[in-house]
Chains A and B, each alone.
Chain A
Amino acid sequence: MPGTDFQGSFGRSLLSLRRDQVDLVAGSSSHHNHQHEPSNMEVELDSFQRQVAEKFIDLNASGELLSLEWIGKLLDSFLCCQEEFRAIVFNHRSQISKPPMDRLISDYFERSIKALDVCNAIRDGIEQIRQWQKLADIVISALDSHRPVGEGQLRRAKKALIDLAIGMLDEKDPSSSSGTNLAHRNRSFGRIRESHHHRSIGHFRSLSWSVSRSWSASKQLQALANNLATPRSNDVAASNGLAVPVYTMTSVLLFVMWALVAAIPCQDRGFLQVNFFVPRHFQWAAPVMSLHDKVVEESKRRDRKNCCGLLKEIDRIEKCSRLMNELIDSVHFPLSDDKEIEVKQRVGELVEVHEDLKNGLDPFEKKVREVFHRIVRSRTETLDSLC
């Protein structure tokens, strides 16, 4: 497991890294005499680095990676970092308007605007999951009764399962007809369908995105990551070290957005194309990169073509509904007791995920919205203070 090696060495390297950090912050060896009593500002900036690192160490250790709960924690961590960052920017606002900070800060805010579009796309994605959740709900209400499972119930469940499977196909290529054909085959009923035109197709993917068809989450992430480089030492020196937290916050922003796109369905995810790398000498680099690698690994593990988001709950729904689909295809009436028990068992699993989503999605959506609002507010505040 790639995560373990850093956790062992991290405690030890923390202090030495911090020292390096101070060095970096100070920007030149002429400041060596400061090393023993760092200025308030150095302490402040160093504490930010440490806090970011701690947040991500926690994220490595807590909860199931890529579960709704975990992503919620990721967003909480982002909000904390953002809050700290905001305070730093506010405390040093006099420097923000001077080069090189003016350039660095405006670069950060430009990237954060790009993140806003990601947040909106994620909100669409959450709605998409809700649609699946609704279909799962129909399956459940068809089969989760105390009476024995009948043919009608199975048919109804089957129909919802097919809709669900179609809905969960990755819509990478909107012109692809795989979903459409399947749709036609499975839901046509008699002549009504045949006389009908384009509109009938839409019901599986009836939920459309709030952005145009050409918008791409993967391109957005690439734009967010574009030319993101570690701060140059002369910038660090000229900004009294402020260039470092800006870089840190940008990296956190990028990572969080990348993880969201990885987990939640959105238009053209292809997220692995984004290069994300942080040099090891940042305190938070190891835990962030470790999470990054874990997510990448997870996506490789699940590189089935139709994966529409690495969110654990999506995986569970998908698996559950696939198994149930197969099960329903295999049964004959009257149902044997074994099969009946199996059906009930699958329904039980589906109920469980459904419950998790029901309880988790609303707070998660609120958090995504909160991230959006905080990014906007922080940008507005800084623009105001620059006036």
Chain B
Amino acid sequence: MAENGEEKLLAVARHIAKTLGHNESMADDILQIFSNFDGRFSREKLAEGQAGEDGSAGVAVLDRALNSIDGQISRFVAADQPIWADPADSAAFLDTIDELVGIIREWSPMASEKPIGVCLTRADDMMQQAMFRIEEEFRSLMERGAESFGLNPQGDASAMNHRFDSDEEDDYDRDFQNGDDIQIPVAQPLTDYDLIIDALPSATINDLHEMAKRMVGAGFGKACSHVYSACRREFLEESMSRLGLQKLSIEEVHKMPWQELEDEIDRWIKAANVALRILFPSERRLCDRVFFGFSSAADLSFMEVCRGSTIQLLNFADAIAIGSRSPERLFKVLDVFETMRDLMPEFESVFSDQFCLVLRNEAVTIWKRLGEAIRGIFMELENLIRRDPAKAAVPGGGLHPITRYVMNYLRAACRSRQTLEQVFEESNGVPCKDSTLLTVQMSWIMELLESNLEVKSKVYKDPALCSVFLMNNGRYIVQKVKDGDLGLLLGEDWIRKHNAKVRQYHMSYQRSSWNKMLGLLKVDNTVAGMNGLGKSMKDKLKQFNMQFDEICKTHSTWVVFDEQLREELKISLARLLLPAYGNFIGRFQNLGDIGKNADRYIKYGVEDIEARINELFKGTTAGRK
């Protein structure tokens, strides 16, 4: 060996002299310098090689070394058994490759000398064969993990992980059906996302790394990355489908019945979280370990692995964002939006390299689009409110379904107040100092609702009933606003104004149906009026009785859904009516002749009137409370 080393050294020296020396004498000078430098470079020795065939001694050394390596590589390449089934074999194989790499590196500077060039071609050829084999070994190891090597003692790590790998393979179908086998890492309970899966045993990862190192070193990096990502991609896709995520086109998502789609969204949310928080970071770590020291190969491979699954996830979210704007979808779209928002840091961190930039940008685009979708849904809600036709009147002036729907909808929406604020801030507007864009949005919807209700109130012929309708709906609106986030958004002022509005409706109800009754009970105290007072009072009382009956009959079928409001109404009616009525019949009874027969005309005592008032607004014919 020592001799070989010297031969090599001499060959190198001769080569340098020949390359640097532009003519014979210069080369000779250089050789002279070498010989002065070290005893090993004596002119005799240097001349020896030159005298024979050019570098023949060096070539002989190279040839011998290659022969020996060739024997070993051929033995490995021809092996039927996987080389990595036996750690001793694999170590020997790697050593051989390293030796070959060393030789090629050492002799490459002299490749221009023909005999050496021929040898190097042969070496290169051997390297190709070795790489060819190592690529297969790499693939096989990737696919099988430690599965088939469990028989060989390969350290505790692989033994421990062996169970996981074999389970994963053999029980695949069963697991797919049951979906909750705890031995499958992706199906573990999802309370804690802070975990990283080791998809391959650590010994296998080390093996893979050793192989990858050789492959990248020998210029086989792309092939290695190709094999690597194909295997891992498949693993990821399996994991995604185990999470219940289907591959759906945009059209399929749009055609899916809403209830089914709701379930699909739930599954998506789970899958997106598992993918971004567990699966992708695990893949990242695996990639970094297998391609340790080759960051570009690692980044590229990682992108290749995750691209398909990421696009699958994003496509679904996109389909939801592009989908129907029907208001009932708001809540699920909010869920998707929030999931994307919460996963943004994960997208940023796991896809931080240059190759993944596209995926990161896509995620942001689709997240923004979900915000647009939410704003679109609110627009659609506005539309629905604005265009809701005033068809049949709600019997008894009661609560209109649209009021109930919109108010409960907005209350539910406001439970996601912060998200909605974010969504509306992100539209192009700039919020004012004291009101957010969401406040503006909500007040606008309330305004639309109120003006729609006003149009609807016109359906009632009786202005009193019209007022009852507006009063009822106004009351409901204020109540729903008051005890929730909606109240915080719209503010105290809004509530005060709208309470006042309800009082106004109350007043106009009284005015339109009871003022003329009060008019009947007015007693003319002027002198002129005193003439024929008895007769006029008699007539008025008759009229009063008739109209009171009428009103009570009608108004008792009307509805005031809110008990407190109903009481307030009755009390204020009693306060209005009873004193006037008491006063009237008091006067009437004291009116001489007629007064004696007053009881014949007085149909109701004051208590009777009060009792009748108490019967109002029960919605008897409406059949609802």
Measured CB to CB, the residues of A under 8 A from B are: 113-114, 116-117, 120, 123, 127, 134-135, 137-138, 141-142, 145, 147-148, 150-153, 155-156, 159-160, 187, 189-192, 195-197, 199-200, 202-203, 206-212, 215, 220, 223, 373, 376, 379-380, 383-384, 387
Contact in complex: A150, B223 (CB < 8 Å):
no
Contact in complex: B132, A387 (CB < 8 Å):
no
Q: Is B129 part of the contact surface with A, judged by Cβ < 8 Å?
A: yes
Contact in complex: B249, A117 (CB < 8 Å):
yes
CB distance from A225 to the nearest CB of B (A): 15
Contact in complex: A159, B132 (CB < 8 Å):
yes
The 5 closest A-B pairs by CB, nearest first: A152-B128, A150-B125, A206-B230, A152-B125, A190-B80
Instruction: Identify B132's interface contact among A147, A156, A192, A384, CB under 8 A.
Output: A156
Q: Using A203-B230, A387-B380, A387-B383 as known contacts, list a sample of 13 further A-B pairs with CB atoms less than 8 Å apart, ordered by residue number in A.
A: A120-B250, A134-B222, A134-B226, A147-B120, A150-B125, A151-B128, A152-B131, A155-B132, A189-B136, A192-B140, A206-B234, A208-B308, A383-B376
The answer to whether residues A387 and B382 also contact, given A192-B82, A210-B312 and a CB cut-off of 8 A, is yes
Q: Is B153 part of the contact surface with A, judged by Cβ < 8 Å?
A: no
Q: Is B589 part of the contact surface with A, judged by Cβ < 8 Å?
A: no
Q: Is B56 part of the contact surface with A, judged by Cβ < 8 Å?
A: no
Selected A-B contacts with CB under 8 Å, 7 pairs: A123-B311, A141-B222, A142-B128, A148-B121, A151-B125, A155-B128, A191-B80
Instruction: Identify B222's interface contact among A138, A203, A208, A223, CB under 8 A.
Output: A138
The answer to whether residues A199 and B247 also contact, given A155-B129, A387-B380 and a CB cut-off of 8 A, is no
Number of chain B residues whose Cβ lies closer than 8 Å to a Cβ of chain A = 57
CB distance from A175 to the nearest CB of B (A): 18
Which residues from B are CB-within-8-Å of A383? 325, 376, 379
Q: Is B615 part of the contact surface with A, judged by Cβ < 8 Å?
A: no
Bound complex: CA A120 to CA B247 (Å): 12
Which residues from A are CB-within-8-Å of B248? 211-212
Q: Is B372 part of the contact surface with A, judged by Cβ < 8 Å?
A: yes
Which residues from B are CB-within-8-Å of A152? 124-129, 131-132
Measured CB to CB, the residues of B under 8 A from A are: 79-82, 111, 117, 120-122, 124-129, 131-132, 136, 139-140, 143-144, 148, 169, 219, 222-223, 226-227, 230-231, 233-234, 237, 246-252, 254, 307-308, 311-312, 315, 322, 325, 365, 369, 372, 376, 379-380, 382-383
Bound complex: CA A9 to CA B222 (Å): 53
Instruction: Identify B234's interface contact among A155, A202, A380, CB under 8 A.
Output: A202
Which residues from A are CB-within-8-Å of B322? 113, 116, 376, 379
The answer to whether residues A156 and B249 also contact, given A138-B222, A190-B80, A203-B139 and a CB cut-off of 8 A, is no
Bound complex: CA A142 to CA B82 (Å): 24
Which residues from A are CB-within-8-Å of B227? 203
Which residues from A are CB-within-8-Å of B380? 387
Which residues from A are CB-within-8-Å of B247? 209-212
Which residues from A are CB-within-8-Å of B325? 383
Bound complex: CA A147 to CA B117 (Å): 8
Bound complex: CA A200 to CA B234 (Å): 11
The answer to whether residues A384 and B376 also contact, given A120-B315, A156-B132, A212-B248 and a CB cut-off of 8 A, is yes
Which residues from B are CB-within-8-Å of A207? 233, 308
Instruction: Identify A156's interface contact among B80, B122, B131, B143, CB under 8 A.
Output: B131
Which residues from A are CB-within-8-Å of B124? 145, 147, 150, 152-153
Which residues from B are CB-within-8-Å of A203? 139, 227, 230-231
CB distance from A208 to the nearest CB of B (A): 6
User: For residue A130, which residue of chain B has the nearest CB?
Assistant: B304
Contact in complex: B365, A373 (CB < 8 Å):
yes
The answer to whether residues A114 and B251 also contact, given A190-B80, A210-B315 and a CB cut-off of 8 A, is yes
Bound complex: CA A386 to CA B3 (Å): 90
User: For residue B369, which residue of chain A has the nearest CB?
Assistant: A376
Bound complex: CA A104 to CA B594 (Å): 79
Which residues from B are CB-within-8-Å of A159? 132
Bound complex: CA A210 to CA B129 (Å): 36
Bound complex: CA A275 to CA B312 (Å): 31
Which residues from A are CB-within-8-Å of B111? 147
Contact in complex: B237, A150 (CB < 8 Å):
no
Bound complex: CA A373 to CA B318 (Å): 11
Instruction: Identify B233's interface contact among A206, A209, A211, CB under 8 A.
Output: A206
The answer to whether residues A147 and B121 also contact, given A210-B312, A210-B315, A376-B369 and a CB cut-off of 8 A, is yes
Which residues from B are CB-within-8-Å of A153? 124-125, 128
Which residues from A are CB-within-8-Å of B307? 127
Contact in complex: B132, A117 (CB < 8 Å):
no
Bound complex: CA A380 to CA B143 (Å): 45
CB distance from A375 to the nearest CB of B (A): 9
Contact in complex: B308, A210 (CB < 8 Å):
yes
Contact in complex: B81, A190 (CB < 8 Å):
yes
CB distance from B70 to the nearest CB of A (A): 11
Which residues from A are CB-within-8-Å of B365? 373
Contact in complex: B376, A208 (CB < 8 Å):
no
CB distance from A277 to the nearest CB of B (A): 24
Bound complex: CA A197 to CA B144 (Å): 11
User: For residue A215, which residue of chain B has the nearest CB?
Assistant: B249
Bound complex: CA A211 to CA B308 (Å): 11
Bound complex: CA A251 to CA B73 (Å): 62
User: For residue B322, which residue of chain A has the nearest CB?
Assistant: A376
CB distance from B423 to the nearest CB of A (A): 15
CB distance from A203 to the nearest CB of B (A): 5
Instruction: Identify A113's interface contact among B219, B226, B254, B376, CB under 8 A.
Output: B254
Contact in complex: A380, B222 (CB < 8 Å):
no
Which residues from B are CB-within-8-Å of A160? 223
Which residues from A are CB-within-8-Å of B136? 187, 189
Bound complex: CA A98 to CA B308 (Å): 43
CB distance from A127 to the nearest CB of B (A): 7
Which residues from B are CB-within-8-Å of A147? 111, 117, 120-121, 124
Bound complex: CA A196 to CA B144 (Å): 9
Bound complex: CA A150 to CA B19 (Å): 27
User: For residue A190, which residue of chain B has the nearest CB?
Assistant: B80
Contact in complex: A113, B251 (CB < 8 Å):
yes
Which residues from A are CB-within-8-Å of B122? 150
User: For residue B312, which residue of chain A has the nearest CB?
Assistant: A210
Which residues from B are CB-within-8-Å of A202? 230, 234
CB distance from B176 to the nearest CB of A (A): 13
User: For residue A213, which residue of chain B has the nearest CB?
Assistant: B247
Instruction: Identify A387's interface contact among B129, B139, B369, B379, CB under 8 A.
Output: B379
Bound complex: CA A200 to CA B226 (Å): 15
Instruction: Identify A199's interface contact among B143, B223, B250, CB under 8 A.
Output: B143
CB distance from B429 to the nearest CB of A (A): 14
Bound complex: CA A159 to CA B250 (Å): 38
CB distance from B399 to the nearest CB of A (A): 27
Which residues from B are CB-within-8-Å of A123? 311
User: For residue B365, which residue of chain A has the nearest CB?
Assistant: A373
Bound complex: CA A251 to CA B8 (Å): 74
CB distance from B437 to the nearest CB of A (A): 16
CB distance from A38 to the nearest CB of B (A): 35
Bound complex: CA A207 to CA B250 (Å): 20
Which residues from B are CB-within-8-Å of A120? 249-250, 315
The answer to whether residues A380 and B249 also contact, given A190-B80, A208-B237 and a CB cut-off of 8 A, is no
CB distance from A331 to the nearest CB of B (A): 14
CB distance from A126 to the nearest CB of B (A): 11
Which residues from A are CB-within-8-Å of B382? 387
User: For residue A119, which residue of chain B has the nearest CB?
Assistant: B250
Which residues from B are CB-within-8-Å of A150? 121-122, 124-125, 128
Bound complex: CA A322 to CA B45 (Å): 54
CB distance from B264 to the nearest CB of A (A): 13
User: For residue A198, which residue of chain B has the nearest CB?
Assistant: B172
Contact in complex: B250, A117 (CB < 8 Å):
yes
Which residues from A are CB-within-8-Å of B129? 151-152, 155
Bound complex: CA A192 to CA B111 (Å): 39
User: For residue A209, which residue of chain B has the nearest CB?
Assistant: B247
CB distance from B88 to the nearest CB of A (A): 19
User: For residue B223, which residue of chain A has the nearest CB?
Assistant: A138
Which residues from A are CB-within-8-Å of B80? 190-191
User: For residue A135, which residue of chain B has the nearest CB?
Assistant: B226
